[in-house]
Structure 1
Amino acid sequence: MEPLLSTLHIVSGVFIVGPMAILPMTAMRSMRAGEAGQVASLAKSTNIFTLLSVLVVFFGFGALGFRDNVSFASTWVWLSIVLYAAALAISLFLVIPALKSASELLAEQSASGTRVAGTKVAGYSRVAMGSGIASLLLVAVVVLMVVKPV
């Protein structure tokens, strides 16, 4: 059972956490282009993938339960959980709200014709900073999973 749960943990990490980290960066390009609908769609997708990322943790806990030599007291396990929780919080409470407000602002500017091409929309730096930090935290989790320090 442990190989199955480990495989599900890794596969879901790739196909769920990967988009969670990459989609906000794609949204920044759409923000620069002034594409309100695309930004709104990417905000929704980021939210879905961020919430689905809890499945990765679930599968990881399941795999951990079948291993004799590893416990929650292992440094790499609890530190990975803390770093993931921080990335999750940043994504849910900083990046996604900034994307939603940016899409609304872009829609208003598009409707009123006040959008100046090439200008950054409000919230761009929050998305850039938040998604960058969340991605670095997720990379740190991967490093901990590979290195497994005592």
Structure 2
Amino acid sequence: MNTVLVSLHVVAAVFIVGPMAILPQTALRAVRAQQAGTVKTLARSTMVFSLLSLLVAILGFGALATSDKKDGLTVTTPWVLISLVLYVVAIALSLLAVVPALRSAGEHLSDPSTPILQNHDYKRIAMASGVVSLLLVAIVVLMVWKP
């Protein structure tokens, strides 16, 4: 059972967390091209994938609960706990900074009275999504390394 849950956890991470990290980077290109509809769609998609990433965490808890007792893995195992904290920060940043910045950029691009996007929207998207990506990379390193 543990092998199945770990496999589902990894597959879900690839197909859910991957897009969660990549879509805002794609949105930056759409912002530069001033494609309001695309930016709005990518904002919605980023929100959906960020929320779906909770499934990855649930599967991770399932894998942790079914792990071999001799491994001594619990939520308080340092690399598990650090990964969990980094994930909470990443999803919060994605939902509370990246998605609103994408929505704002989409609205600014849709408004004919603002021909040029305000620079702070682009910077917020770039910085926040970059930090989210770095946090997700750190989680992957912790999951593989298991210090």
User: What's the TM-score once normalised by structure 1's chain length?
Assistant: 0.92
The gaps in structure 1 that reach 5 residues or longer are none
Q: How many residues align?
A: 144
Partners of 1:16 and 1:80 lie apart in 2 by 17
Partners of 1:102 and 1:73 lie apart in 2 by 40
What residue is the counterpart of 2:40 in the other structure?
Answer: 40
Give runs of ≥4 in structure 1 deviating > 3 Å.
Answer: 119-122
RMSD: 1.2
Match of 1:131 among 129, 132, 145: 129
Q: Give the counterpart letter for 2:37 in structure 1.
A: G
Match of 1:85 among 66, 85, 88: 88
Question: Is the Cα contact below 8 Å between 2:31 and 2:122 reproduced in 1?
Answer: yes
Partners of 1:141 and 1:16 lie apart in 2 by 15
What residue is the counterpart of 1:20 in the other structure?
Answer: 20
User: What's the TM-score once normalised by structure 2's chain length?
Assistant: 0.94
Equivalent positions of 1:1-150 (< 5 A) are: 1-67=1-67, 68=69, 69=71, 70-109=73-112, 112=113, 114-116=114-116, 121-149=119-147
Q: Give the counterpart letter for 1:36 in structure 2.
A: A
User: How high is the sequence identity, in percent, across the aligned residues?
Assistant: 54
Shift of 1:73: 1.6
The gaps in structure 2 that reach 5 residues or longer are none
